[in-house]
Structure 1
């Protein structure tokens, strides 16, 4: 293939073969890998003519569109828009009309002097000229419609979405004034309690919020609480969901649903010895029994839905509220509900029909005639799954209201996964938005020496732009609801994503770039509207300059202590962390503090075959010993450990003194936010997730070692929490 053709196509699709790897070395994606990626995007790289034709067709469509589908701009006194016009229109009197989000209309003439010619092109013997036009108009922030008319003609020549945004994301006033806050993070499903049904729920979350606030904490950080696959309970990764717009219904505390409280017969069933035996078995397990929990909860949810639909005066008001919810949420809710219903239907017929890719072809899309007919014929079943979402969202809202009533600075801190699974409802309902033969992941880095492919098809930058970013906007709106902060997993996705073709290994991918400034502006708009602070998980292979963009956009960085090393190998003092950041000791993708210190993650990695050879493991082991010594040196150097505490890492095991000293040491730092894991309060060893594994390890199943009621009754832990609050208060000075 002629290089110029390939280069043109790569530019069109924002493919960059050059990047700097996690170790700071320049890397280049091979031409073979680039071609393979393009093939999986649906274009034949062996046919140069086809590539050229596609390129020129996209160019032609650009000129014929007159206006782009969307323009996103930070609020200002004037705005520059691009407009392409046939030469015959250039001398005509034109009018632009802006219909604001609140339905106000602004009209102005576009006079000849407003046009700044920037390009000329000829399509089908018609000359088009592209202009930049300065619009001097006072616009509120929000989602507006801009249309262009010929004077005297009531039909618009063209239109576009015109989105006006703030310049930066929201930060609470207390933090703007210098308050340093702390909170704990937890995988919600891991929580053990005296009352839950074998999986953490939103009532457990309320307890955590209350107890944390009592000890001076300001937030609880959660794993993604996205909708998973009730028909396939063991597909439990919160980072590979069915939909990021809806919730995991297993987090509902069924005993706290209004229908349960009014159903005496159901209460008797749940209080029976037989039922309590089931609950005890689910609660006592070291690992979450997703199959058992799901079967139990769905059976009760169906009874609750029947109670709602009795049609008596006791349920009339409640049923009316449910119907209002269904109407308000519209087609997006029906998509999720219908998918859950259909997945149960097909799996009941054939266990191999796990998701839409293997369903009968007529059902491969939500919009298909077969799907719509089935939905119409099975309204009550679809409404049942709408009900599951409703009661779950109500309980999340209650938890959020509790956090606010407690005066917590952030309260609930949610997590937005980077994508959805291939067999997800989100793709089933939005095929055009996703590149389905590609997975996002990461090139080889410290956490994943072989690279990572997460099995999550990426959104197409082209389709996002053509849809005026609506899928992205809806994601933000859903995930900024009922919380005070949102963590964006792999925040570099706003700039670029590592795309891995389905037929290739993780290292054989390439970076695809996204319109980062537009996405950051949209993030700022929804952040301010929802009063939701934004934290960007910026670990791994981080391109130069993205840190500046994120900081200017008001996005808080993510500083993990174990990665914050200076050039000489020593650990950077938390006193030197930047303010606009959240500090943490560990994450869900890393070992616990105790596991790290005892190298349990490295031994487990060896057992699971995660390292290319013995030499790679030996290097990691040697580095770990060195890092542990540097950590001890740093803690002693900052007087964070007793003077008499052992200074030789090779002779020092992880004990409570060292564990709690590490956490308090980080609390003294200058980052505005501090997040510590509940499992580290409990000095646990077993990780919740091992990156790069699926069936090799029981990811996303490990529970906490103690009930949450016991955690906050533990005197040593209570002292730790009080010390964290004191350290945070002193860090302000």
Structure 2
């Protein structure tokens, strides 16, 4: 494989979306090497080991595009004049007849003289002159998903007509909310992990204090066969829910299921349950054994005695969720069976060849012969979905303007359902990460395979649409983790260092169009987590689409380190004190994060000393900002006063939404996750120190809630 860049290689890489260069956090220009380009191209299915291969591949791509009269999909907006689509037909083509099959079942029809359409380009393809012209469509197309076909030839494409702007709550309200990691909730009734029953309790407490939002960690499905793989940001599937969040005691089959009641009443089960509840960290292995054993018995009871209406509701749920949902459930059944035989078979790449292809005859036979196992996985999803929906209904009934605010991870684990169910849409042999920054000088490798941008477009963005819909379900808000991924993702060839990665571009305008369409349909606001290396102009384009920027207090400083005052926060934004990857407010103030980084070898002794010195200065600047803003508690000593002042400060911000982390409201010292660690730190496991039953009335919680409520009700900003 040649390491020398060539004109054809550069052109091919650019055509496939591989960006030639980027500026890192220090402003240094980094160029993608020829080797990186070749590795990424090979992962995209376009090998180019030498100049001749690159020339041939580029010519083949261009020829294929010219041969197709219509692209696979067009995402249109109605605010820029009549929408137009690219049409490529042989020169001399006369009239073009077009039909748009609308989403509601009706159709629009029209004709146009091809020679009078606006010309764009022309090319000689296999001895035929082909012209690229623009076909104008009606400017009043309804928002939604339609199908355009043209004659002669019968070519067709998907049409997505988007409003281009996401939904936002109406009226002059300035909402605030509470964010939490659901699994960390401690209660007298849960089974050692926060569940959807606990979520309803949080909704009740939050709504009673005037909160409009309850924010959650990703609720994506994890791996029951490997329960200690607990990161919600590296899931098995983002289309499915984590069944460990099911409140077993709320499953309707329980009161009539003698076997389950006997299990739950047994001394051994009570002993194990008490141990899981008392554990200072979430014991995922113990919780999984407790819950899956009981849920299996309840599923058996459902199969044997469910009332016809309940059975019909389950069948309807499976049918409505579609093909990818069914394949995902099949995957989980397969993985459970193979992992039970040999842990090495948990990864589907090690399965027998016939089982690696979801459309194979072996898979069809397995699905028929093990229909009950597949149905069990679907039933678990139905139960989880129903309980999440009940929590969302509670929020609506209690007057919460937004309700549940969910979180969409940037990717899924390479050994999970997403990479198996739709293999063409995912780039294998590539992992998403980040280039070096101030906090991670070596860069980051998140180990998550990205979507294949061209394959995504070829399928009409079906995978992305299904992903957005699944995560807007029962939600009034959706946080997009690493939202810059809608524009480009930093991709690292497998086995290489982050320094050997490059950015791969994505069709940003198209993805934003789909995201805003689904936002309006689901009345679900969108927040983009835009931390790290943000491209120039990116935040402005997000704001134009009504996508809220994610503004963290400690990052909102000017070039001299002064904290931005509340009035300087952008209106189309969410203001928050921290995130799951950052220290809690107390941890930041006391430097716990610096201690942990040094303990885990992430800082040298000299770096630790420098960070401690910098943090001391930062604390003084924060106090100065709080005093200047005039928020209550800004000049008082102690963590309680600091929390009250910080939340009042965030509440006064110009941002549409202000959110308090439950960790900060309860004065937790340790952060949930320490990036760049795995088992060294108990990531995703630390339970809250305060039980759910004791949150209402907790001084820190009540003070922070009151500070936000009072500040959000003020007319002006500090």
TM-score by length of 2: 0.96
CA deviation after TM superposition for structure 1 residue 293, in Å: 0.7
Q: Secondary structure at the match of 1:297?
A: helix
CA deviation after TM superposition for structure 1 residue 276, in Å: 2.3
Mind listing any 5+ residue stretches in structure 1 that lack a counterpart?
Answer: 151-155, 647-653
CA deviation after TM superposition for structure 1 residue 624, in Å: 1.7
After superposition, what is the alpha-carbon deviation per residue over 1:692-721, rounded to whole angstroms, capped at 9, x for unaligned? 222322211111111111111324432332
2: CA distance, partners of 1:644 / 1:58: 65
Q: Secondary structure at the match of 2:148?
A: strand
- Equivalent residues in 2 for 1:191-270 (5 A)? 191-270=185-264
Corresponding residue of 1:597: 589
Instruction: Say if 1:642 and 1:293 are closer, same or farther in 2 by CA, change over 3 A.
Output: closer
Q: Secondary structure at the match of 2:304?
A: coil
2: CA distance, partners of 1:643 / 1:67: 61
Return the match for 2:533 from 535, 541, 550.
541
Is the CA contact 2:650–2:708 (under 8 Å) kept in the aligned structure 1?
Answer: no
Is the CA contact 1:448–1:691 (under 8 Å) kept in the aligned structure 2?
Answer: no
Corresponding residue of 1:705: 689
Residue 720 in 1 paired to residue 701 in 2? no
Is the CA contact 1:270–1:276 (under 8 Å) kept in the aligned structure 2?
Answer: yes
1: CA distance, partners of 2:214 / 2:238: 20
Corresponding residue of 2:32: 29
Return the match for 1:282 from 276, 292, 316.
276
Return the match for 1:681 from 634, 652, 665.
665
Corresponding residue of 2:183: 189
Is the CA contact 2:652–2:716 (under 8 Å) kept in the aligned structure 1?
Answer: no
Corresponding residue of 1:351: 343
After superposition, what is the alpha-carbon deviation per residue over 1:526-548, rounded to whole angstroms, capped at 9, x for unaligned? 00000000000001000101111
Is the CA contact 2:219–2:407 (under 8 Å) kept in the aligned structure 1?
Answer: yes
Corresponding residue of 1:650: none
Q: Secondary structure at the match of 1:258?
A: coil
Is the CA contact 1:101–1:142 (under 8 Å) kept in the aligned structure 2?
Answer: yes
Return the match for 1:125 from 117, 124, 127.
127
Residue 51 in 1 paired to residue 54 in 2? yes
Corresponding residue of 2:521: 529
After superposition, what is the alpha-carbon deviation per residue over 1:513-563, rounded to whole angstroms, capped at 9, x for unaligned? 111111111111000000000000001000101111101111011110000
CA deviation after TM superposition for structure 1 residue 570, in Å: 0.8
- Equivalent residues in 2 for 1:55-74 (5 A)? 55-74=58-77
Is the CA contact 2:666–2:700 (under 8 Å) kept in the aligned structure 1?
Answer: no
Is the CA contact 2:527–2:550 (under 8 Å) kept in the aligned structure 1?
Answer: yes
After superposition, what is the alpha-carbon deviation per residue over 1:380-406, rounded to whole angstroms, capped at 9, x for unaligned? 111011100000000111111111101
Instruction: Say if 1:627 and 1:31 are closer, same or farther in 2 by CA, change over 3 A.
Output: farther
Corresponding residue of 2:12: 9
- Equivalent residues in 2 for 1:246-645 (5 A)? 246-311=240-305, 315-611=307-603, 613-640=604-631, 645=636
2: CA distance, partners of 1:272 / 1:725: 46
Instruction: Say if 1:638 and 1:324 are closer, same or farther in 2 by CA, change over 3 A.
Output: closer
After superposition, what is the alpha-carbon deviation per residue over 1:240-283, rounded to whole angstroms, capped at 9, x for unaligned? 11111111111110111111133255334324443222221111
Residue 158 in 1 paired to residue 183 in 2? no
CA deviation after TM superposition for structure 1 residue 40, in Å: 4.1
2: CA distance, partners of 1:379 / 1:560: 48
After superposition, what is the alpha-carbon deviation per residue over 1:474-519, rounded to whole angstroms, capped at 9, x for unaligned? 1111111101000000000110100011121122211111111111
1: CA distance, partners of 2:325 / 2:226: 20
After superposition, what is the alpha-carbon deviation per residue over 1:307-345, rounded to whole angstroms, capped at 9, x for unaligned? 11114xx63322222122222223222212111111111
Residue 94 in 1 paired to residue 96 in 2? yes
CA deviation after TM superposition for structure 1 residue 615, in Å: 4.0
TM-score by length of 1: 0.94
Corresponding residue of 1:38: 41
2: CA distance, partners of 1:131 / 1:644: 66
The farther-off stretch of 614-623 and 69-78 is 614-623
Return the match for 1:78 from 74, 79, 82.
82
Is the CA contact 1:417–1:488 (under 8 Å) kept in the aligned structure 2?
Answer: yes
- Equivalent residues in 2 for 1:639-678 (5 A)? 639-640=630-631, 645=636, 655-678=639-662
Is the CA contact 2:5–2:33 (under 8 Å) kept in the aligned structure 1?
Answer: no
2: CA distance, partners of 1:543 / 1:388: 41
Q: Secondary structure at the match of 1:309?
A: helix
Q: Secondary structure at the match of 1:278?
A: helix
CA deviation after TM superposition for structure 1 residue 31, in Å: 3.8
Is the CA contact 1:14–1:513 (under 8 Å) kept in the aligned structure 2?
Answer: yes
After superposition, what is the alpha-carbon deviation per residue over 1:571-605, rounded to whole angstroms, capped at 9, x for unaligned? 11122211111001010010111111122112211
CA deviation after TM superposition for structure 1 residue 141, in Å: 0.6
2: CA distance, partners of 1:32 / 1:540: 26
Q: Secondary structure at the match of 2:349?
A: helix
1: CA distance, partners of 2:656 / 2:543: 13
1: CA distance, partners of 2:606 / 2:36: 28
Instruction: Say if 1:321 and 1:44 are closer, same or farther in 2 by CA, change over 3 A.
Output: closer
CA-based RMSD: 1.8
CA deviation after TM superposition for structure 1 residue 136, in Å: 3.3
| Alignment size in residue pairs | 713
